[in-house]
Amino acid sequence: MARPITDADRRRVRELHAQDKSRNEIARAIGRSPSTVSKIAGQFTPPLTFDRAAQVATATAARKADLDQRRTEMAHRLQDVAERELSKMTQPTVYWEWGGKDHTYDEREQPEPTPADRRTMMATAGAALDRSLKLVPPKQDPGQESRSVVGELMAGLARDYVARHGGPPPEPDYDQALDDGQ
């Protein structure tokens, strides 16, 4: 048989609720089930609620902002990796060998890496740049947007000319313009 709800249970639920404890935290603190805590909370006028949607939304927004910041930092680090790899492509490089029957060490410097090493560096730089751009895509160039607006305007004018005159606009005669002194 279930233990009856006491005034001490009610008082304790009210105190812990005022401390902004969750239903499950209150249940653990008073040694009751979460459903009993909900029943007790519903007996008050007005009933106590455990609606934490606003707190959850705030916490979620904060977490997303933190992840955005971390993603941006990671994109910067990947950009640094790409730049470092690209800078190595034209730098003097030391190649070494260790081995042979006498276990000798041999070292030589070349003015720049071998083509195979350069391909590897390029692949590493490309992968780092690709990941960086996926983490933080570049903002669209405002000039590009302006150029596309101008392009759309020119295309619209050409369509309008075709609709009015039944054919494309004539090509400008630059030689004639030069003869006319323009």
pLDDT tens readout for residues 37-61: 999 999 998 999 888 777 788 889 9
168 has pLDDT over 60 = yes
Beta-carbon contacts of 41 under 8 Å, excluding residues fewer than 6 positions away, are: 13, 17, 23, 47, 48, 49, 50
Q: Give residue 160's pLDDT.
A: 79
pLDDT value, residue 162: 82
Spell out the SS3 assignment of 69-96: HHHHHHHHHHHHHHHHHHHHCCCCEEEE
Domain residue extents for the chain: 7-51, 67-135, 142-170
Q: Is the pTM of this model over 0.85?
A: no
Q: Is the pLDDT of residue 1 over 80?
A: no
The pLDDT value recorded for residue 165 is: 81
Residue with more model confidence, 178 or 111: 111
Of the listed ranges 10-14, 38-42, 160-164, 173-177, the least confidently predicted one is 173-177
Q: What mean pLDDT is reported for the chain?
A: 86
- Report the pLDDT value the prediction gives residue 151, as an integer from 0 to 100: 76
State the pLDDT confidence band at 93, using cuts at 50, 70 and 90.
very high
Structure tokens that stand for 31 in this block: 């040694």
Residue 77 has pLDDT above 80, yes or no: yes
How far apart CA 158 and CA 168 sit, in angstroms, is 7
The pLDDT of residue 145 is above 70: no
Q: What are phi and psi of 62, to 5 degrees?
A: -65, -40
Model confidence band, residue 136 (pLDDT cutoffs 50, 70, 90) = confident
